[in-house]
Amino acid sequence: MLMGERPEIAGRALSVAPSGEVGFDGARPAAGDGIARELARLVDPGVPTDAAERAIAVDQTNTSVIVDGRLVVKVVGAWAAADRAAHLLERLAHAGSTQVAGYAGRVDWRHPSLGTSTLAIVTEYLPGAQDGWDWAVDDVVALLAGDGSEPGFPAVLGATVARLHDVLGAGARAAPDDAPAARGRRALAALDAAFEAVDRSGGPTAARLANRAEALRRDVRSLGATGAGLAFDLHGDLHVGQVLRSPGVTPRYTVIDFDGDPQQGASERNRPDAAARDVAHLLVSLDLVAAVAQKRLGRAEPAAFAWADRARVALLASYRATLVRGDLFDPALVPGLEAEQLAAELTYADRYLPRWRYAPDAAITHRYPSTDELPEDPWTPPPFEPTST
């Protein structure tokens, strides 16, 4: 554990800005500066003092560096950003879960005024692993192009999440009596934010969304008629991009990033929730994979959503068949939580990644009936660009 207001790591002073941003001499760590290596050595003294550091080339709130070719050191970008993930990964490691990368340990920092928080998490490095926005889309594109067979990963994902839920849900408790109303309010707020964002941006998405507003609201309203059910600390931001696939005769699937939903505040992220939220988010991501595959193909392809329909059935069936604690999952929550997640995807696109709007637009257009009150153009994918979605 590090202690003090400005402890040194690799010759750099660690500090927390008034905004909560964590810095090393005021900057973020980077591969090659020795910070990740020194943090790794605090967890595993067997790491050589000259171990190589290599960046993980993705844009992320935190900084992840491969150390010694076998460990990933994830260094937080903000105070308390990794506390939740460290807690859940430790629980999974103690249970012997193989659904996550091997957990090596964490580095905590005891600050004289802020208390104690996790500064870095150290996990197993998985060579050659890709996230689902690559491997899942590749599988679906190959199927649609006639170069591949029906992907088997939806059933694998369903079983994987069920096993995670059985571990994390071991201490599940009854949700508060007002949980249905609270879920409904959160989902309705997400819808309202999405409608506002799309109306502001305009374009053909606006008419398609307006024609499906009542169908979306109907599913959101259904949350208020459900039971409170059980709640526990779940993943909270589950989609195919949070699942790595490692190459091999039998590919390995591992779930990453247990930080919770980045669009929610810390109190909401840390609140126990229903298992159905993870399931709904993952089901939505299958529709988004279908949209990305159509963009890759350069055309609207009905067979893509026909695949998504089959994939959703396979994932849900596998999840329910594998889940030992069947009382953790209430399927009645899924429609409303899916509607909320699709709305959140539109808002995310508006705030951070406008080129992503086509994907939730496609899923909403496919999944929800149109009133045809406004003239609307058929959904078509934007031109494919060889960059990350």
Instruction: Tell me whether residue 131 is annotated as binding.
Output: yes
- CA 165/CA 213 separation, integer angstroms: 32
Instruction: Tell me whether residue 287 is annotated as binding.
Output: no
- CA 167/CA 62 separation, integer angstroms: 26
Residues 6+ apart with CB under 8 A from 247: 128, 129
Q: Which phi and psi angles does 338 have, rounded to 5°?
A: -65, -45
Cα 354 versus chain centre, distance: 18
Instruction: Tell me whether residue 345 is annotated as binding.
Output: yes
Residues 6+ apart with CB under 8 A from 140: 151, 289, 290, 293, 304, 307
Instruction: Tell me whether residue 74 is annotated as binding.
Output: yes
Name 246's bridge partners: 252
Nearest-CA neighbor of 235 among 255, 221, 254? Answer: 255
Burial class (CB in 10 A: 0-12, 13-18, 19+), 101: buried
- CA 143/CA 247 separation, integer angstroms: 19
* 3-state secondary structure (DSSP) of residue 14: strand
- Count of beta carbons in the 10 Å neighbourhood of residue 344: 22
Alpha-carbon distance values, 96 to 79, 91, 93, 164, 167 (Å): 29, 9, 5, 11, 9
Instruction: Tell me whether residue 237 is annotated as binding.
Output: yes
Q: Which phi and psi angles does 370 have, rounded to 5°?
A: -95, 140
CB 84 within 8 A of CB 70: no
Degrees (nearest 5) of the Cα angle 99, 103, 109? 135
Annotated binding-site members for D-glucosamine: 237, 345
Annotated binding-site members for Mg(2+): 242, 257, 259
Annotated binding-site members for ATP: 74, 131
Annotated binding-site members: 74, 131, 237, 242, 257, 259, 345
